[in-house]
Amino acid sequence: MMRSITRASAITVAGGLFFAVLPLVATSFGEEYFISLFSRILIYAIAAVSLDLLIGYGGMISLGHAAYVGLGAYVVGILYQHSYEGQPLFGLLPGSENALVVWPLAVLIAAVFALVIGSLCLRTSGMHFIMITLAFAQMLYYFFVGLEQYGGDDGLSIFSRNQMPVLDLNSDIQFYYLCLFFLVIYLIFVHRLVHSRFGLVIRGANSNNRRIQAIGIHSYRYRLVCFAIAGAGGGLAGALLANQTEFVSPGLLNWTLSGELMVMVLLGGLGSLFGPVLGATIFLLLEEVLAMYTEHWMVYLGPFLVIVVIFAKHGLFGLLAGRGDRNE
Amino acid sequence: MLLAIEQILNGLQLGITLFLMSAGLTLVFGIMQVINLAHGSFYMIGAFVGATVTARSGSFLLGVLAALVAAAGTGMIVEVIVLRRLYRREHLDQVLATFGLILFFNELTRIIWGRQPLMMDVPAWLGGSIELLPGLPYPVYRLAVIVVGIAVALGLWLLFARTRLGMQIRAGASNREMTAALGVNIRLIYTLVFGLGTLLAGLAGVMAGPILAVESGMGESILILTFVVIVIGGIGSVRGAVVGALLVGMVDTLGRAFLPILFRLFFSSASADSIAASVASMAIYILMAAILVWRPRGLFPAHSS
Amino acid sequence: MNDCILQVRDLSKSYGAVMASRKLCFDIRRGEVHALIGPNGAGKTTAVNQLSGEILPDSGSILFDGHEIARMPPHRRARLGLAGSFQITSIFENLTVEENLALAIIAHNGHNFRFWRNCLRTPLVRKELPDALARIDLDKRAGIPASYLSHGEKRQLEVGMALTCKPKLLMLDEPMAGMGPGGTVEMSKLIRRLKGNISILLVEHDMDAVFSLADRITVLVYGECVAHGTPDEIRHNPTVRSAYLGEG
C-alpha cells in the first residue's frame, strides 16, 4: 500500500517538474511551438480533471461535459466581440476584454448551466443519465450553431487574448505559466475536495447509493453540487482555450470533444488526480505525432481504445503507480 | 393548410427513420443492457454501401439489399468481437469502447470513400410526386419510406408477439441464465438481436441516402435524435420507440417549419428567423426535458429494470 | 406505554394475491433484544423492510419512540434513531474501514457541504472514530479498503456503521448468515455488549443465537404473528413447535 502511494507521488512530482521547466528548455532549443502545444495540454488537463471528478470519483458518467468547456469559451468570445465592436450585449452590458471580469463570469455561467442541466439529469441514472447528458449538450451545440451574429457554424475569432494586470497574455510563455498555475490550483482544490466531508459523501454515493440514503444522506443534492463544480472547471478550461487558440466555435460543445475528454480520463486512469493530466498529455501528443505520419490516424486510435478498455482498465497511471484497485 | 399537411407527412417520414434507428437500439439496450454509441455507424455503413452499389449497378433494390447485408454483417461481426466482452462491464467501459468503434468506422469511410459526400439519386421508379390532395403534390419516395416503415413496425410486432424466436428473445431479456439453462442458445440470440438492430439501422441509412448527404459522421447526428426518442419512449420498449419517434419527428419538423412564422409575428424578420432556427433546433430537447420532469423513465418503460 | 420503543399495529402488506404481512402486532421494549423468528417465507424480511422504510405498508401503524413512521422515507426514520443493517451486506466497498465509519458519523451531523478540510481530521470524526472502531473490534483494520475484509468483518462493519448514529433501535437482519462459528461468536459478543444500552430487533435463523441472546421472541408464520413470549415460553409453545417441526 505504502509503496504505491509513494510511486504515485513520485510520478506527480516528476510531472510537475517536467511542466515547470518545459518552456525554458523549449526556448533554449528554439522550439517555441512546444510551448503553445503544452499550453493546450494543460488546458485540456483541467477539463479532464473536472470530468474525472464526475466520473472517477462521483460515478456520474456525463457524455456532455464539453458543453461547459464550450460555454466558458463562448463567454470569452461573445464579450470580446461586444467590446471590440463597441456594442453592448442586449443593449445593456458592455463587452469586456478584461480577464479578471470575463474569466470568473465564464466559470460562473458554466456552473449555473451545470446546475440547471444537472438538476434534470440527476433525476435519472444508468443509461438514461448518459444519454440525457449527451442530449442536453447537443442542444447547446445546436443553439450556438444557430447564433449567426456570433459566427454560427463558422465560429468566432478573437484578435488578441484577454488582458490582465501585470501579465501580458499575448506572450506564449506567460500564458503557459498562467495555465500551469490554474492547473495546479485546480488539482489542489480537487484533492482537498475529494478527501473532505463533501468528497466522502460523493465517493460513498458512488460506491453504494442505497446505503447512503439509508444513513440519512440525500445524495441528489451533493451530486448536483459536484456536477456544478465539475462544470465550473470545464468553464475555466473553456475560457483559457478561447484565449489560447483565439478562436471559438460550436465544435467545442460537440460530443466528439466530450468523448475525447473521456478518453483522456480513461488513458490516465479514473479516480486518480494526476491521471487525467497524464491522459491529456498522451492523447494530445499522440494526436500530434500520429498526424505527421498519416492523416487517418483515428483508424488506429479507435481499435486501440477498444483494446485498452477491454484489457487495461485502470489506465496508465494505474499501471505505473502499481494500483490494482480504483482506490484513493 | 396544405403546407401543414405536407409538413406533417415530412414529420412522419422523419419519425419513420427515427423509429427504424431506435427500435434496434432500444432492443439492444433493453435485452443486452448495453449502451452502444456506435449504432449510428451502421446507419452510415448502410448509406455508403447502398449509395455505392446503386451507382455501380444501377439498381436501387440491389443497393438496398447490399446495404442490409453490409450493415447486419458488420453488426454481427462487431457483436462477436467487441460487444460480447462488454455485456457484464460497467456502462463507462461500454461507452468508451463503442466510442472507439465510432472513431474507427468514421475514419474507415473517409479512407475508402474520401471526404466528399456521396450523392445518391432517388430511383426513377420512385421519382416524382403524386397528388395526394388537390394542390398537394408529395414526393413518391418519401411516401415509400413511410410505407416501408409501417411494414417494418408490423413485422417487428409479429416477430415478438407471435413467433417462437420472439418469445425466446423476450425470455432472454428478463432472465438470461434461466433461458440459457432451458437450452436456448443465448449467445446466438444476442448476436441475432444485435444483427437485427444493425439491419434496421442500415435500412434507415440507405433510405435516407437520397434525402440527406451521405458522409462520414452522418451517423452521429441521427444517433443523438435516436437517444432522445428512446429516453422519451422508454428504454427497452418498442412501443415507446414508435411513440417517441413520431413525437420527435413531428416536433422537430413542424417546429422548424412553423416557428419562424410564429416568431415573425413578434420580432423583426431578420432576428426572428435566426432566433426561430435556434429554438427549433432545441425544441425536441425541451420536449425531452419536459417529459423527464413528468416521467423520469420515459412514457412506456419496459418492465424489466 | 412509554417503556416500548416500537409498537407495530395491524401492519399489512400484500403483493397481488400474496399477503406477505397480515395485521402484524408486536412491541419492542426499551433496552431489550427482541427476536423475530419464523420458517422460511414467513415474511420476516418484509416486516423489517416496512420498519426501515424500504417498502411502504398497505395499512397499519408503526409507532417509533412516539412518532408514527409507517409512511416516512428511510432517511427520516434514520434521523429519528431507527437504524438497520441490510440482509445482504451493504457497506461502501470502495472506501476504507475508517472512511466507512466516518461517513456514518458525519451523516448524522448536519449538512456536509464542507469542501476543504480532510474529513478524517475534522474534530467530530477524530472524537468519534476511535470509539466506533473499538466497538466493533476493527481498530487494527482501519486503513484497509472494505472490499478486503472477510465476510464476518464486513457484517461487523455494517453494525458499526449503524451504531455511530447512536440509534435507539437497531435492526439486525440475519447478522449471523454466512458466518462460520468464529464469526458467530464475535457477533454474539457484540450484541451482548450492546444489550441494555440500545434496543435491538434481531431477525435470525440461528436458533442457538436467538435463544441465548433474546429477551423476548415474536414468531411469524405466513405473515402473521402466532406467538409472543420469553425464550422459555416460546420453546414450549405448541403452535410454534408445529410450525417449525410439522404436526406433532
* ipTM (interface predicted TM): 0.85
Q: Which chains touch A (3 or more CB pairs under 8 A)?
A: B, C
Cβ–Cβ below 8 Å for B99 and A305: yes
Judged against a pLDDT cut of 50, whether residue C134 lies above it is answered with yes
Alpha helices by DSSP H, listed for chain B, are 2-32, 39-57, 60-81, 91-113, 140-162, 164-174, 176-181, 186-208, 218-233, 238-264, 269-294
Give residue A326's pLDDT.
Answer: 42
Closest by Cβ to A217, choosing from C75, C102, C116:
C75
The pTM of the whole model exceeds 0.90: no
Strands C216-221 and C224-229: antiparallel
A301 touches chain B (CB under 8 A): yes
d(CA B157, CA B177): 25
Q: How many other C-beta atoms lie within 10 A of the C-beta of residue B98?
A: 24
User: Could you tell me the pLDDT band of residue A324, with boundaries at 50, 70 and 90?
Assistant: very low
Nearest-Cα distance to chain A for B256, in Å, is 12
The overall average pLDDT reported for chain A is 87
Strands B136-139 and C4-15: unpaired
Strands C59-64 and C216-221: unpaired
Average pLDDT of the segment spanning A178-201: 94
User: Could you tell me the pLDDT band of residue B293, with boundaries at 50, 70 and 90?
Assistant: confident
Output Rg (C-alpha) for chain A, integer angstroms: 20
The overall average pLDDT reported for chain B is 86
The residues facing B136 across adjacent strands are B133
Q: In whole angstroms, what separates CA B122 from the centre of its chain?
A: 20
What pLDDT digit, counting tens, does each position of B159-194 carry?
Answer: 887 887 777 777 666 666 677 777 677 788 889 889
What pLDDT digit, counting tens, does each position of C47-64 carry?
Answer: 888 898 888 999 999 999
d(CA A175, CA B113): 41
Do chain C and A touch: 3 or more Cβ pairs under 8 angstroms? yes
Per-residue b or e along C130-153, where b marks 16 or more CB atoms closer than 10 Å to that residue's CB: eebbebbebeebbeebbeebeebb
d(CA B282, CA A302): 30
Task: Between A274 and B278, name the one with better pLDDT.
Answer: A274
Cβ–Cβ below 8 Å for C120 and A195: yes
B296 touches chain A (CB under 8 A): yes
Strands A156-157 and A247-248: antiparallel
The residues facing C171 across adjacent strands are C84, C201
Judged against a pLDDT cut of 80, whether residue C191 lies above it is answered with yes
d(CA A121, CA B296): 9
Give residue A328's pLDDT.
Answer: 35
Helix, strand or coil, per DSSP, at residue B214: strand
Q: In whole angstroms, what separates CA A291 from the centre of its chain?
A: 23
User: Could you tell me the pLDDT band of residue B304, with boundaries at 50, 70 and 90?
Assistant: very low
Give residue A189's pLDDT.
Answer: 94
Average pLDDT of the segment spanning C11-40: 88
Give residue C247's pLDDT.
Answer: 44
Q: How many other C-beta atoms lie within 10 A of the C-beta of residue B279?
A: 19
Closest residue in A to C86 (Cα) is A211
Average pLDDT of the segment spanning C63-81: 86
Judged against a pLDDT cut of 60, whether residue C2 lies above it is answered with yes
* Placement of cell 444519454 in the chain: A131
Judged against a pLDDT cut of 70, whether residue A319 lies above it is answered with no
Residue B92, class by beta-carbon neighbours within 10 Å (0-12 exposed, 13-18 middle, 19+ buried)?
Answer: buried
Q: How far apart are the first and last CA of chain B?
A: 44
Nearest to A190 by CA among A202, A179, A207, A178: A202
Nearest-Cα distance to chain A for C164, in Å, is 10
d(CA A129, CA A134): 9
Nearest-Cα distance to chain A for B49, in Å, is 19
Helix (H) or strand (E) holding B121: none
User: Could you tell me the pLDDT band of residue A325, with boundaries at 50, 70 and 90?
Assistant: very low
d(CA B132, CA A35): 65
The phi-psi region of residue A231 (left if phi > 0; otherwise alpha if psi is between -120 and 50; otherwise beta) is alpha
DSSP string, chain C: -TTEEEEEEEEEEEETTEEEEEEEEEEEETT-EEEEE-STTSSHHHHHHHHHTSS--SEEEEEETTEE-TT--HHHHHHHTEEEE-SS----TTSBHHHHHHHHHHHTSS-----SS-GGGSHHHHHHHHHHHHHTT-GGGTTSBGGGS-HHHHHHHHHHHHHHT--SEEEEESTTTT--HHHHHHHHHHHHHHBTTBEEEEE-S-HHHHHHH-SEEEEEETTEEEEEE-HHHHHT-HHHHHHHH---
Cβ–Cβ below 8 Å for A197 and C117: yes
The overall average pLDDT reported for chain C is 86
What pLDDT digit, counting tens, does each position of B35-52 carry?
Answer: 899 999 999 999 999 999
B64 near B50, Cβ under 8 Å? yes
Average pLDDT of the segment spanning C174-203: 85
DSSP assignment, residue A86?
T
Helix, strand or coil, per DSSP, at residue B120: coil
What pLDDT digit, counting tens, does each position of C89-109 carry?
Answer: 788 998 999 999 999 888 877
d(CA B245, CA A167): 54
Cβ–Cβ below 8 Å for B99 and A263: yes
Judged against a pLDDT cut of 70, whether residue B3 lies above it is answered with yes
Nearest-Cα distance to chain C for A13, in Å, is 21
What pLDDT digit, counting tens, does each position of A95-151 carry?
Answer: 888 888 899 999 999 999 999 999 999 988 888 899 899 999 989 998 888 888 888
DSSP assignment, residue B82?
T
User: Could you tell me the pLDDT band of residue C248, with boundaries at 50, 70 and 90?
Assistant: very low
Do chain B and C touch: 3 or more Cβ pairs under 8 angstroms? no
* Placement of cell 442586449 in the chain: A90
- The grid coordinates of residue C22 equal 397480515
Strands C59-64 and C169-173: unpaired
C167 near C136, Cβ under 8 Å? no
B150 touches chain A (CB under 8 A): no
The phi and psi torsions of B124 (rounded to 5 degrees) equal: -60, -40
What pLDDT digit, counting tens, does each position of C8-23 carry?
Answer: 999 899 888 888 888 8
Closest residue in C to A224 (Cα) is C113
User: Could you tell me the pLDDT band of residue B101, with boundaries at 50, 70 and 90?
Assistant: very high
Average pLDDT of the segment spanning A17-34: 86
B95 near A126, Cβ under 8 Å? no
**Winning range, highest mean pLDDT, from A177-191, B286-300, C180-194:** A177-191
Helix (H) or strand (E) holding A1: none
- The grid coordinates of residue A156 equal 468566432
d(CA C24, CA C50): 11
Helix, strand or coil, per DSSP, at residue B17: helix
The share of chain A scoring above pLDDT 90, in percent, equals: 46
The share of chain B scoring above pLDDT 90, in percent, equals: 35
The residues facing C229 across adjacent strands are C217
Cβ–Cβ below 8 Å for C93 and A208: yes
The phi and psi torsions of A256 (rounded to 5 degrees) equal: -65, -35
d(CA C103, CA C92): 9
DSSP string, A38-57: HHHHHHHHHHHHHHHIIIII
Closest by Cβ to A213, choosing from C75, C93, C95:
C75
* Placement of cell 465544435 in the chain: A251
Per-residue b or e along C174-204, where b marks 16 or more CB atoms closer than 10 Å to that residue's CB: bbbbebeeebbebbbebbeebeeebbbbbbb
Average pLDDT of the segment spanning C184-199: 87
Residue B53, class by beta-carbon neighbours within 10 Å (0-12 exposed, 13-18 middle, 19+ buried)?
Answer: buried
Give residue B305's pLDDT.
Answer: 38
Angle between helices B164-174 and B140-162 (to 10 degrees): 70
- The grid coordinates of residue C87 equal 440482509
Cα angle value B256/B292/B15 (rounded, 5°)? 40
Chain B residues near residue A262 by CB distance under 8 angstroms? 95-96, 99
Q: How far is CA C67 from CA A11, A85, A218, C51, C219, in A?
A: 56, 66, 21, 13, 25
A194 near A328, Cβ under 8 Å? yes
Cα angle value B109/B115/B119 (rounded, 5°)? 85
Residues 124-143 of A with CB under 8 A from B: 124, 126-128, 130-132, 134-136, 138-139, 142-143
